Amino acid sequence: MSNPLNGKELVFAALRHEPITAVPWVPFAGVHAGKLKGYTAREVLTDEDKLVESLLEVNKTYDPDGQPVIFDLQVEAEILGCPLVWAENSPPAVAGHPLAESFVVPTHLPDRTEGRLPLILNAMWRMKTTVGYRTALYGLVTGPFTLASHLRGTEIFMDMIEQSEKVDALMVYTIAVCKRMCELYIGAGMDVIAVVDPLVSQISPRHFKRFLSEPFKAVFDFIREKRIYSSFFVCGDATKNLEVMCQTGPDCISIDENINLPAAKQITDRYNITIGGNIPLTTRMLLGSQQDNMKFIVDLLETVSEPNFILSPGCDMPYDTPVENVTGALQAVRNPVSTRAALENYTSITPDIDVQLPDYAHLPRPLMEVYTLDSASCAACGYMVSAAQRAAEELAGQVDWVEYKFTTLENIARMQKLGVKNLPSIYINGELKFSSIIPGNKELMEAIRAVEVDNKG
């Protein structure tokens, strides 16, 4: 593809919905950036120099048209009092919720001197002055609903039914936090503000309209008033919410592999909104071959019409993603015609893994199987696992549970054999009970006890 624009201009043209001669390439290299320089996820998320060094390596190796400076949805939560659990190869996870016991809405807004903001803002400015003239830089802020969930915990889902006024008040607060973060990142030179809210996929369109439509519209209007581009990031199967998401007015919506991108683009095109995505994180980027990634991309490019499209991974790339898989993606998007010719004899290889499912009809007690992308790095998955853990603790030995992460070939084969279609999901005794919807504690306990009764019957 001939591209007379530099990368930054190409991304901007796509976000302005203009005809373009090449598809913009925005690899989401968050903690994976550290992998390129031999740094752990924790090192790259807590050390300014290591972060910038890693980001510059991403810029050199993957030649992005746009790239995020940091992909960590716990930055705001940490400042607001949520304890974190750190891992070596993924962003930290929220380990506690300040409002879990006492639902008193805070008032404090993050200051540029708090938490990890000083190193993040400095890194943003350093990237801006180094590569910002040719690369569109993305500042990622935690979306208001996911931030509300970090503060309140999984009870937020029942609160929407039982304490709606409290949820409204909490959303007013998290919107204020979101706007403050937008201001700080825009001031540090970010070209695109991405509002990342993975838990949006876990609620119904009715609840979205009731609690989130006006808040998200306020955020995107705020960003637009600053003359900056915006993107609405969502994880999981948010197909049901695409229409209402479009109605909040972002410049772009980014989706993951749970959503059929060509079908989703028909919806976003009706609103003249750019769509981004959605190279599969595990089956292609982490566990696939270079040719698997190239084939996926050239096939996707043939089914997705221009304009209004930005190619990217479905979310933050796994830490251990092979470099050759990302460079293969780069080659495919830059030169799709020659890449397709090179793949003329391509044959996908399906691993021969024999997975034995439990004998669900003869279990001693109900079994909850939680299927996730990875609860350590996926917020929605983490909250699904937390719901299962809480129910298991309350039932104290009356139910078993296990998490299967979509990060190994064996677990992928297990999901295929059981017929798992969307992540995260909870199966009880082999039957799908909750798909891309995080259950409230009462709802999950009732589902477990119903199976318990069936077993006894």
For residue 445, give every residue at least 6 positions away whose Cβ sits within 8 Å of its Cβ, in sequence order, or none: 391, 394, 395
By DSSP bridging, strand 400-405 and strand 367-372 are: parallel
Whether residue 316 is predicted with pLDDT greater than 80 in this model: the reply is yes
Q: Which helix (H) or strand (E) holds 386?
A: helix 379-395
Q: What does the pLDDT average to over 158-187?
A: 96
By DSSP bridging, strand 431-435 and strand 84-85 are: unpaired
Q: How many CB atoms lie within 10 A of CB 15?
A: 25
- pLDDT on residue 140: 98
**What would the pLDDT profile of 218-238 be if each residue is shown by its tens digit?**
999 999 999 999 999 998 889
pTM above 0.85, yes or no: yes
The DSSP annotation for 441-454 comes to: HHHHHHHHHHHHHH
* Segments making up each domain of the chain, as ranges: 7-342, 360-456
Domain 360-456: give its CATH code.
3.40.30.10
Q: What's the rounded Cα separation, in Å, for the pair 36 and 16?
A: 32
**What would the pLDDT profile of 323-347 be if each residue is shown by its tens digit?**
999 999 999 999 999 999 999 988 8
Q: What's the rounded Cα separation, in Å, for the pair 63 and 349?
A: 29
- pLDDT on residue 2: 47
**What would the pLDDT profile of 185-212 be if each residue is shown by its tens digit?**
999 999 999 999 999 998 999 999 999 9
Whether residue 453 is predicted with pLDDT greater than 90 in this model: the reply is no
Q: What does the pLDDT average to over 300-309?
A: 90
Question: Which amino acid type is present at position 363?
Answer: L
Whether residue 174 is predicted with pLDDT greater than 70 in this model: the reply is yes
Q: In the chain, what is the greatest distance between 2 CA atoms, to the nearest angstrom?
A: 70
At 375, the pLDDT band (50, 70, 90 cuts) reads: confident
At 139, the pLDDT band (50, 70, 90 cuts) reads: very high
Most confident of 279-283, 304-308, 411-415: 279-283
CATH T-level assignment (fold) for domain 7-342:
TIM Barrel (3.20.20)
- Tell me the average pLDDT of the chain: 93
Q: What's the rounded Cα separation, in Å, for the pair 207 and 363?
A: 36
